[in-house]
Chains A and B, each alone.
Chain A
């Protein structure tokens, strides 16, 4: 049975392989190093040239040298041969080199299987609808190439492409069954390489002047929220991220081990009805979850830190769904422990002397804490500018900002405010997160983007606990009420899609994002939970992997039986003339004239003329036109059709 697969590859199969390989590699050019892309293009061109000239393929030692050189270059570029990016680079290079070794059918098969493999690697970088569509087309081409390799020169281009399409379409039901019923295992199975989640954007753990302004340039979606009931107005949507308590003069840091969940539990008193919602968070490679301030009900496996930030146990590396309830009016830690208050009064020694001095002056004027807060907000409201492009600040950044530049973004205001409060003896800290969000009228989801990243302040007041104060609202109330796009002056660098004036694009964008959201929720977000929900809808609540395997087995058996029935059905298609002839015979059967299987049309006509003279004329007309259509020149069917119609 082992006729070697190493049969020679026919010459015309090579362009197929080149095209399929190109389709599989092309999207990788977007992130491969430039030299590698150029090298791959060179290899493709070389292979194509050799094919066109029908030249001898390069010798093995030469290819070995090229492989070693290429691997060394990848090693130099990525410092490793494994991991996501380096692995993809090696795979792309090896496949391109295999194109220079296309001698036998087995070589071609290796290229095809590598192509399939490369198609998978695209999903490391993007799982968007566009990627899915492109890869579907590439899959079609690669499968057609595989068919062409085996069909040989007798296969036409059209026939091959058609066959591949038929194969793929027929594979869809099984794919759907497997996708829905194959027991989903939550990954990762083992530690992922360090670069697995490179390039995830989101809030950073620390805050320096400018860090959030950078984030605001990105129109990327941070998370989506779907409220069960009416959604609160955007001005009240504060999505709470990490709380930064330590300040070193330049950078704000969270307290170490703040995410561990140790420490005292926050004391909360709720003063309004909770709102519940589902949050679909994009992976950001951090542990905080950005629940609406303040969370009242948390999903399992989520810990509320002592500073009221919801934290996951693991960094969130891919899109996740959570259900929360939050209460917008609350009292937080009316009884705060002294060390915490002390910590939130600390400023680095001998920094920002002018700010400290200003705060002391306010304090000495006999203002209470609430009056101090209002004084600071009044200061910001009077002479400050809200801008994404603030001037650079010197060593005493708060002083520079407060007394010299007076232009800044939310992090500047929050930092300056907290500094002033601490200097005046009011415990205060910086809270980062997101603020606002845009409701998509198409699907009702609230979309929060990276550009909605925000920083505000929290002060501790006796009898009231920690109270949120947003100094940015004092400078630019529109930022809080309607979002960043309207708050920024003309000419600020914002992503095109966020600009307020691109109104005509807005409905289009809503639709596109709703489509993407549906894709994310239904296709990409299909996980164990959804699988369980689906099974419950089919009357199998609490389905475990055994139920799923059984359901999958049944579905597969049914689908396989259907395809076997299809395969064994013989389509014995008669030509149109014969079909008309059969119809005429059926008519005659009704007249009790039966045509024996051995009887030729002419013999039948003769018999009819003898036995049933009244039918002789129409039958002989049918016979004559049938013979003419079947065996005559031209094969005109019209007379036959007319003659059959005129049979009594």
Chain B
């Protein structure tokens, strides 16, 4: 297997591209005829036989011109990828179950446009199953170059870059598990201009996306009075209705004041606001979740609490096994808590 891995490395240059920009050199661009190309070649062969049979001098010329166009099309297809500059971008965290987007900036330094570039993330190759029979190394290489190199993880993304400009390609990848979602090998390919050849290159930019646990809605734990600061002693302060404010995207639908909203039909939905929320301090503790539930579910419940607490504008602390985050509020605090949840180890 090590031999195979080395071969792969050598053949396809799968080594990581890191985080810096990469320019595609000729050693990284591969090219093979497509099925359409083979059809075209077959048609040319038939046309040549016809031209010979009927002694058509111009028929010869036409066939040869088409051969020239085909070969030249190959060069143009190669050129469509060659010299492309790829810069990895930063990906925004997502919740498990959503789609992560990996932005790649593609730069075209030439004056003529590069059209119809397609990118697709390949899910990592499944662990090799023991081969039933002894196959030659050559066969293995052949099978590597064929379609079984990686399974398509999502629909390919198409990018067109005008001359002397850049374009952003966003590679979607389903985020199924919390934690780091590493961008697998990316295949960048094109068939432009004639479609008779397909040039491709493998990229492995070092990109990862943080996937938070999928939030689970459940009632927030009561604010524990013992943990509240002395300056804020009123019990159940967060339950005191204080008024309405327009709904924001992060607000849970459960907090929408449906009756109040119905009275003002052309206004944004109203959300109930509770007095003293900012002063309340919640303690979102691992031990408050049902110990009978699986680990991941408990993390999901905690994630739901973090989101709910943040929506309320409350101060909250998070305690996980092996991690303790002091009480806080706001965007950065929320991100920190969610990150801790995403990376929590049982």
Contacts and interface: CB of A to CB of B under 8 A. Distances in A.
Interface of A: 1-3, 5, 105-106, 109, 113, 116-117, 119-120, 123-124, 127, 131-132, 135, 139, 143, 146-147, 149-152, 154-155, 159, 163, 167-168, 170-175, 178-179, 182, 184-190, 192, 196, 318, 523-526, 560, 563-564, 566-568, 570-573
A106 B109 CA distance: 32
B194 A146 contact: yes
Nearest to A159: B113
B193 A1 contact: no
Interface stretch (B65-73, B224-232, B246-254, B309-317): B65-73
A187 B55 contact: yes
27 contacts: A2-B147, A5-B35, A5-B36, A5-B195, A109-B195, A123-B51, A124-B54, A131-B58, A146-B195, A147-B194, A150-B191, A150-B193, A152-B158, A167-B69, A171-B67, A171-B68, A172-B68, A175-B67, A188-B53, A524-B57, A526-B57, A564-B75, A567-B79, A568-B82, A568-B83, A570-B83, A572-B109
B111 A573 contact: yes
B72 A174 contact: yes
A154, A155, A190, A573 — which one has the most chain B CB atoms within 10 A of its CB?
A154
B49 interface: yes
B180 interface: no
Interface string B325-337: 0000000000000
A173 B68 contact: yes
B60 to A, nearest CB: 6
Nearest to A320: B55
A179 to B, nearest CB: 5
Nearest to B146: A1
Contacts of B73: 167
A566 B74 CA distance: 13
A175 B67 CA distance: 7
A540 B68 CA distance: 25
Interface stretch (B39-47, B211-219, B260-268, B300-308): B39-47
B95 interface: no
Given A146-B194, A150-B192, A186-B55, A120 B62 contact: yes
B63 interface: yes
Given A5-B34, A175-B61, A188-B54, 15 more contacts: A3-B156, A113-B39, A123-B59, A135-B62, A139-B66, A151-B116, A154-B116, A171-B65, A171-B68, A174-B68, A182-B60, A186-B55, A524-B58, A567-B78, A567-B79
Contacts of B140: none
A546 B67 CA distance: 21
B56 interface: yes
A220 to B, nearest CB: 19
Contacts of A120: 47, 50-51, 56, 59, 62-63
Given A143-B69, A150-B116, A571 B194 contact: no
Contact of B198 (A1, A163, A179, A187): A1
B65 A168 contact: yes
Contacts of B46: 117
Nearest to B34: A5
A119 B62 contact: yes
Contact of A132 (B35, B49, B58, B198): B58
Contacts of B50: 120
B11 interface: no
Interface in B77-106: 78-79, 82-83
- Chain A to chain B: the 4 pairs with minimum beta-carbon distance, closest first: A171-B68, A154-B160, A174-B68, A178-B64
Given A119-B62, A182-B64, A523-B58, A560 B110 contact: no
Interface string B158-188: 1010001000000000000000000000000
B275 interface: no
A623 B145 CA distance: 54
Contact of A123 (B52, B58, B113, B147): B58
Nearest to B23: A570
A174 B67 contact: yes
B207 to A, nearest CB: 23
B151 interface: no
Contact of A168 (B34, B69, B200): B69
Contact of A163 (B36, B118, B193): B193
B76 interface: yes
B141 interface: no
Nearest to A114: B43
B53 A189 contact: yes
A105, A167, A524 — which one has the most chain B CB atoms within 10 A of its CB?
A167
